[in-house]
Amino acid sequence: MNEWVLHPGLVLIVGALALPWLRGSLRSTALLALPLLVLTLVWQVPDGAVWQLHFMDYTLTPLKGDKLSRLFATVFALMAFGGALFALRQRNRFEVPAAFVYAGSAIGVALAGDLVTVFVFWELMAVGSTVVLWCSGTQASYAASLRYLMVHLLGGVLLFAGVAGHIAQSGSVDFARMTLDSPSNGLILIGFLVNAAAPPLSAWLPDAYPEASWSGTVFLSAFTTKAAVYVLMRGFPGTELLIWVGLFMALYGILYALLENDMRRILSYSIVNQVGFMICGIGIGTEMALNGAAAHAFTHIIYKGLLLMSAGSVLYMTDRRKCSEFGGLFHSMPVTTLCGCIGALAISAFPLTSGFVSKSMIAQAAADQHLLAVWLLLAAGSAGVFLHAGIKFPWFVFFQKDSGLRPADPPASMRWAMIFFALLCVALGIWYEPLYALLPYSVDYRPYTGSHVVTQLQLLLFAGLAFFAMLRYMQRTLTITLDTDWLWRRLLPALARGCGVVIATSMAALHRFGLRLGRRLWSWVLRYHGPQGSIARTWATGSMALWVLVLLLGYLVLYYV
Amino acid sequence: MDSKAHWLDRPRNVKRLWRGFLAVLVLAVLAQLAIMLHPHFAVEGVFGFAAWYGFGSCVLMIVAARLLGLWLKRPDDYYGDGDRHE
């Protein structure tokens, strides 16, 4: 226990709150220095519980270190740095600070030793990311942010219920490995999976991320889903269900990305696809698989950030986002094209790129466990990644037919951010030992065997052949493809309107019935009690005397009977 | 830039690229004759497995995506977000 170690996540969050008030070069310096400071702080966190505090009857551990935590915190801090460099020219003063709060919360999740801390940072992530979306300033982004927030608050409620139940049952707040033996653990798993963009709510991701600004999407792509990968890896490794959830996500992401026309929505579906690979690895659960999933999360954050930076640069320079409007941009944007292509090769796990040394560990783990179906689907998924992200994205944006657009490369800060991440993608693919040294378990795996390189090249190159052979069927149209967000953008509102109509009609019918009933009652009252009613009208004295006589006679008769 | 066509814009060079690509494909398959493969499963032992599996699964995915598109494709102003794509 050591109180003198600073919490890297909190440092980033508190620092972010000061940023909106800085100007000029002071601001730029702070934007770049803060993530680097946080990166060094992450490496000061020793193994084991570092901060502990007592809250009610429980001992919370807001800061706890081990290899897995440091791996994720490291890449989150790295991403905050790269993203901040890319976003230096962002004119909105609040976007990068909000992104830092978001990144700091993700680091907080990665370094949390108990479930309460996880939950607190989890919700803070939802807040930070929503503000990043707001900073885009369009009406579409505001509407998308509300849908985004709705899904994440729902996930948060499920997670909170699960955490509360888990603590009540086990009496422990520690965030350790869990099994699916109780409803509360099931709720925790569902809460985690919502953020991982697992079905059926997966549509929140491609709905919201492409609506952020040119720099906002770069930040959004990194933290929420990968923090979810981290908590799944810590909480539910080896849960078989996750294998199938992951494979579904991998294939779903490919099919939707193939149909998509918006360049950043293609890349958003590709995030779901990549997270699917990681979740599948977590489901397999062996040391090799978990190493693979962790390594893949690390490399993915960098190459996906790079891909979205290249897309963001195109958006920044052209103010367009549809593939059908692009083409031939390589003429005037050589740096962006080159960096985008490096990102595309890395996501496709081409030899000599970072994806090659990380993703193959997951496939290797499936082979080691003799899971033939899983291995085959992973291989098909790998080929499909090359199809939708590796070729489709760069082809339709930078090459294909010449659109006549001649935007220049983006300003220097954006170029350097892309070059930095592109270098990382290649460097990690060649000198992979430092990455392997960071992984949670010791690595006994060599990615560059002749057999592996040749089979991977065959798989990818022939996937490329399929793309160009079927190019006719890949041409972009001005369409979207309905996803599950249709449920809450169309079906639920329609149901609500339908219910409104039913309620209004039945209220009107009830009103009419009430009126008729009232009228009938009134006419009945009038008939008997009105001025001419049989009960209320004035009677002649003679008839009164007669009736009194009858009554008295009746009384007399009864008396003697 | 506009006065002189980029070398990639000339049809002759595109044709050359295609030929080069096909040659690389053949080489990638032939390379496995020179290298000891380590198949994990029996099916991997089939000659050129990764090549035809990669090609076949991609064709299948493109066809599946087309079918999905027939069912679920909508005009991109379907949700009525006027400024969504501009």
Per residue in A293-348, pLDDT (tens digit) is 999 999 999 999 999 999 999 999 999 999 999 989 999 999 999 999 999 999 99
| Burial grade of A551 (CB within 10 A; 0-12, 13-18, 19 or more) | exposed
The percentage of chain A sitting over the pLDDT mark of 70, rounded to a whole number, equals 99
Judged by DSSP in three states, B74 sits in strand
Residue indicated by tokens 């869990």: A178
The CA distances from residue A204 to A66, A154, A327, in Å, are 32, 12, 29
The CA distances from residue A166 to A114, A159, A188, A194, A221, in Å, are 12, 10, 9, 18, 30
Residue A244: other Cβ atoms inside 10 A: 15
User: Looking at CA atoms only, how far is residue A303 from chain B in angstroms?
Assistant: 22
**CB nearest A254 (choices: B50, B54, B61):** B61
Strand partners, A51: A63
The CA distances from residue A401 to A331, A398, B9, in Å, are 12, 9, 9
**Nearest residue of B to residue A138 by CA position?**
B83
What was the pLDDT predicted at B4? 61
Q: What is the pTM of this model?
A: 0.90
**What ipTM was estimated for this complex?**
0.90
Q: In the structure encoding, which two tokens stand for residue A397, read together?
A: 């944006």
Contact criterion met (CB below 8 Å) for A257 and A389: yes
Residue B2 reports pLDDT greater than 70 = no
Average pLDDT estimate for A459-486: 91
Q: What is the mean pLDDT of chain A?
A: 94
The residue with greater pLDDT, B70 or B1, is B70
| Residues 21 through 80 of chain B touching chain A, CB cutoff 8 Å | 21, 24-25, 28-29, 31-32, 35-38, 40-41, 43-44, 48-55, 57-62, 64-66, 68-69, 72-76, 78-79
For A263-290, write each residue's pLDDT tens digit. 999 999 999 999 999 999 999 999 999 9
Going by pLDDT thresholds of 50, 70 and 90, the confidence category of residue A477 is confident
Name, in order, each residue with C-beta under 8 angstroms of A547's C-beta and a sequence gap of 6 or more: none
User: Looking at CA atoms only, how far is residue A145 from chain B in angstroms?
Assistant: 13
Helices (H), ranges, A111-203:
115-134, 139-170, 183-195
What was the pLDDT predicted at A537? 74
- Contact criterion met (CB < 8 Å) for A473 and B73: no
Average pLDDT estimate for A505-531: 93
The percentage of chain A sitting over the pLDDT mark of 90, rounded to a whole number, equals 89
Return the H-helix or E-strand segment holding A543.
helix A541-560
Going by pLDDT thresholds of 50, 70 and 90, the confidence category of residue B83 is very low
Residue B82 reports pLDDT greater than 50 = no
What was the pLDDT predicted at A3? 62
Phi-psi region of A373 (alpha: psi -120 to 50; beta: other; left: phi over 0): alpha
Residue B1 reports pLDDT greater than 50 = no
CB-side neighbour CA atoms (13 Å) of A388: 35
**Nearest residue of B to residue A328 by CA position?**
B9
Handedness of CA A88, A121, A206, B83 (dihedral sign): negative
Q: In the structure encoding, which two tokens stand for residue A242, read together?
A: 């996750």
What was the pLDDT predicted at B84? 46
**Mutate which of A146, A391, A461 to disrupt the B interface (most B C-beta within 10 Å)?**
A461
